[in-house]
Amino acid sequence: EHHLRENMENHTRITEFILTGFKSHPGSQAFLSVLFSTMYIVTVVGNVCMILIIRMDSNLHTPMYFFLENLSTLDICYSSVITPRATLTFLLDRRNISYSECASQMFFFSLFGTTEAFFLAVMAYDRFTAICNPLLYQVIMSKRLCVFMVMGSYLSGCINCTIQTGFTFSLSFCGPTEINHFFCEVAAVMHASCSDTLVNELVMLAVCGSIIVGTALVVFISYGYIIVTIVQMPSAESRHKAFSTCSSHMVTICLFFGTVFFMYAQPGATSSPNKSNIISIFYTIVIPMLNPFIYTLRNKEVKGSLKRQLKRKGFC
């Protein structure tokens, strides 16, 4: 009973954490704050432009662009959870984060990160249907199914982030608690605990592992069928057209799943904080920034729509 009370006192005594990510490079703080703020502005502007292009052009009111619009909204949210706070941390060297702020940051980061994985799987299924079942595409990918898939992705994200945050913040923390990261990432907060984290690590591995493997399987199977179908197409023109509608999505998938696998599916990946800090920058800040450019530069329809809208406004 005394041990339990002591644990509870330890648990309630902590009111804040200290984020120590990149602290070992004092000269780079100003550079990091400029880099993070620039990338955040580019992310928001790029993704807002993407949403506006899709909204304003009725030719782009198709399932593929409905998912793309939702992906852009998600990327803005995903980046907003991490980047502004990290920029202020580097700029003002204010590394303290309250217990509740840390919990809410973890909750929303897990929510948007998980939802993004499901979105990419949904978009792969959409491309599979478009290329492998073109005649039934409009019937299968109905508006109702598209909305259901987006809501299902968010619901899956909600379930995962509730499990991750609930399990992590049920641990005891004995002050002063330093988190070797620039935001409240699950594994980093877990390492800062003075409890035994074995159960948490197993839960994280089981839940995150099944989500990553499950969504990646949907993606790889869909693209397996897509590649076989494209190879069997009779004309080079139809092959090129089919491939061009998938290439931008394939780039995004390789970037996202590549970094997530490297981060979470590697034994001992969480025990190397500096490496995980750098990889985290990539999938929390760089990928949401790159997505609009990947989809704009590699997509004839988006480029055509952008030109038409600029012409209408008299810019070119």
What is the spatial distance between Cα 63 and Cα 61, in angstroms, rounded to a whole number?
Answer: 7
Residue 174: closest CA among 20, 6, 4: 6
* CATH number of the domain where residue 187 is located: 1.20.1070.10
- Does any domain span residue 302? no
- Does any domain span residue 315? no
Distances 197 to 68, 128, 160, 203, 308 between C-alpha atoms, Å: 38, 41, 18, 10, 56
CB contact set of 149 (below 8 Å; sequence gap of 6+) = 67, 122, 125
Per the DSSP assignment, residues forming a β-bridge with 18 are 96, 178
Domain count for the chain: 1
- Does any domain span residue 249? yes
Query: Which pLDDT belongs to residue 315?
Result: 62
Which residues constitute the domain of residue 153?
Answer: 19-262+274-296
Q: Give the three-state DSSP class for 81.
A: helix
What is the spatial distance between Cα 214 and Cα 167, in angstroms, rounded to a whole number?
Answer: 22
What is the spatial distance between Cα 192 and Cα 185, in angstroms, rounded to a whole number?
Answer: 11
Query: Which pLDDT belongs to residue 272?
Result: 59
Query: Which pLDDT belongs to residue 316?
Result: 53
- Joined together, the tokens standing for residue 273 give 């904080």
- Does any domain span residue 6? no
**Element at 97 (helix H, strand E):** strand 96-98
Determine if the peptide bond prior to 176 is cis (ω within 30°).
yes
- Does any domain span residue 267? no
Residue 24 DSSP class: T
Query: Which pLDDT belongs to residue 18?
Result: 87
- Does any domain span residue 207? yes
Run means of pLDDT, 10 residues per run, the chain, 316 residues: 48 74 72 90 92 85 90 93 89 86 94 93 93 89 94 96 91 81 87 84 86 92 91 83 80 84 61 69 86 75 73 66
Query: Which pLDDT belongs to residue 4?
Result: 46
Q: What is the pTM of this model?
A: 0.86
- Does any domain span residue 224? yes
Query: Which pLDDT belongs to residue 2?
Result: 46
- Does any domain span residue 119? yes
